[in-house]
Structure 1
Amino acid sequence: MGDRTAFIGVGVMGEAILAGLLRAGRGADEFVVGVRRPERGAELAEKYGVEVLANIEAAALADTIVLGMKPQDLGGALEEFASVLRPGQLLVSLAAGLTTAFIESRVPEGVAVVRVMPNTPATVDEGMHAISAGSHCDEAHLAEAEALMAATGHVIRIAEKLQDAVTAVSGSGPAYVFYVVEAMIDAGVLLGLPRPIATELAVQTLYGSATMLRETRTHPTVLREQVTSPGGTTAAALRTLEDHKVKAAFISAMEACRDRAEQLASGK
């Protein structure tokens, strides 16, 4: 590909995508990094061998720009370099909660915007990325965004109105999983296991269970019932989870996540 892709706002997720593309065989000369802090630029140049420029220079040079800054910083960043953007350029936004309309209102007419809800397993090439097209996107723009994100995991296309729900399920989802595993490890220690053993048991159980879900494509209820003998130990544990309304708590938590994403979009 002769086109250059710029990464502006290279935080955890932006760096994960850049690193994944390089691991997948893309050349460092295909990418440029825009930075505001020279020390961060030096770090990225040394680590990945990419060209580092000021944000406005990177934006002017590139055909595709990955916007990886925090949602609250995106508006200010666009003000900094919107003047050098041109119709046909593609902006791929990783900012949670912010709509394509928010970005389109701050850039020249005809700049294409794709909104992405990624997640942190992208750092190990097992991300789950949902993408939505803005009003000036064509199939080529969507395909380009898909190719960028596919280097670090799975990609699905969704209607933008579903993005806040995606944030609640997969965007913030890794934190829920880590929270549950943390609880399992702490419980194992409470029950007398050394912490390293409790950790290995819990992490491998999670990994194996997730692999079963993906490879067998069996409904989780069926897989759960296969572990749950009538009157057995698992049934006793699950009854306690039901008594504490754990499923209801998860649903409420994810609704709160969706609601917070909506608030971010409205600038609150």
Structure 2
Amino acid sequence: MKKLVFVGAGSMAEAMISGIGASGLLPGEQMWVTNRQDTDRLKTLKQKYGIKATYDCGMLFKDADAVVLAMKPKDAAGAIEEIKPYLSEGMLVISVLAGVSIEAIERAAEKSLAVVRAMPNTSAAIGKSATALAVNSHVREAQKMLVQELFNTVGLTTIVEECQLDAVTGLSGSGPAYIYYLVEAMEKSAAEIGLEKQTAKQLIIQTLLGAAEMLTQSDKEPAQLRLEVTSPGGTTEAGITILEQHGVQSAFVSCIKEATAQSKRLGHLLGDQLAAANRPL
């Protein structure tokens, strides 16, 4: 790849630029970025990562191999309308727009395109994203491998069917927020049982890291690992009993199902908005 273009300069674009540059996959001068109007943001990214930035679409897309759609989903219709004259059928389009289908992107661009939809999460900022990728029939095997390489620079990637991306959004896309919510509860409880805030934070973080590493290294199911910590009549059993009484596990299941359903609803809404923006007057 000789040139990678980012349309949108938010946190996800920066995470990818940082990861790709740090990995050596592409040097900064081969990455270009634009946004709607925040020139200060573009200047910051240029200085920090040595990339190039412009509002001249002709210059931006000249000889580009791939473009990453990284604007806010609500801005997708206007952005695609502006750049569609520069999207060629040989160009790879990578979308990180939550809820925007491949079909909607092709329809808005008014041409057949090689499109990869990616669902990373905010942990991409530290190189620990769980990213799911879905591709359409125009994506060549070499292009699919390239996109995997790009997202491997910010974490773990897996290929799924596009119909599964709403579930991925509900599970791992929103997943970091569920963990932070749990940590909030643990911090509140720590304060109430008399632990100093910084001490509690360190203990909570190490506990999460240790549990994650156990899940990574062990071939045992999570339920088995939990049972091995839960001695009859012990402290863990007492705590788990309270969680079960409050239906915490069921609440988490409902949480992820509702987030998945909301992803589907937003997808339909965004698809309708793209279609309306592209409809002749």
The TM-score with structure 1 as length reference comes to: 0.96
Q: Does 1:170 align with 2:172?
A: yes
Alignment of 1:114-133 (within 5 A): 114-133=116-135
* Larger mean Cα displacement after TM superposition, 47-56 or 146-155: 47-56
Q: Secondary structure at the match of 1:267?
A: helix
How many pairs are equivalent? Answer: 267
Alignment of 1:82-97 (within 5 A): 82-97=84-99
Distance 1:19 1:212 in 2: 29
Offset at 1:55? 6.4
Q: Could you say which residue in structure 2 is the equivalent of 1:101?
A: 103
Distance 1:60 1:27 in 2: 18
Cα separation, partners in 2 of 1:60 and 1:259, compared to 1, 3 Å: farther
The TM-score with structure 2 as length reference comes to: 0.92
AA aligned to 1:235 is E
1:267 aligned to 261, 266, 269, which one? Answer: 269
Q: Secondary structure at the match of 1:106?
A: helix
Q: Could you say which residue in structure 2 is the equivalent of 1:22?
A: 21
Q: Secondary structure at the match of 1:54?
A: coil
Distance 1:68 1:189 in 2: 40
AA aligned to 1:81 is I
Q: Does 1:154 align with 2:156?
A: yes
Alignment of 1:188-227 (within 5 A): 188-227=190-229
Distance 2:169 2:22 in 1: 26
Q: Deviations over 1:130-180 (max 9, x none)?
A: 000124222122112111101111110000000000001110000001110
- Checking the alignment, whether the CA contact within 8 Å between 1:119 and 1:172 is kept in structure 2 is yes
Q: Could you say which residue in structure 2 is the equivalent of 1:50?
A: 51
Q: Could you say which residue in structure 2 is the equivalent of 1:64?
A: 66
Offset at 1:75? 1.5
Q: Does 1:184 align with 2:183?
A: no
* Larger mean Cα displacement after TM superposition, 77-86 or 67-76: 67-76
Distance 1:246 1:11 in 2: 34
Distance 1:163 1:249 in 2: 22
Distance 1:56 1:160 in 2: 29
Distance 2:265 2:104 in 1: 13
- Checking the alignment, whether the CA contact within 8 Å between 2:9 and 2:42 is kept in structure 1 is no
Distance 1:55 1:218 in 2: 55
Distance 1:63 1:133 in 2: 16
Q: Could you say which residue in structure 1 is the equivalent of 2:33?
A: 33
- Measured on the aligned residues, the alpha-carbon RMSD in Å equals 1.3
Q: In percent, how many aligned pairs have the same letter?
A: 37
Distance 2:50 2:219 in 1: 40
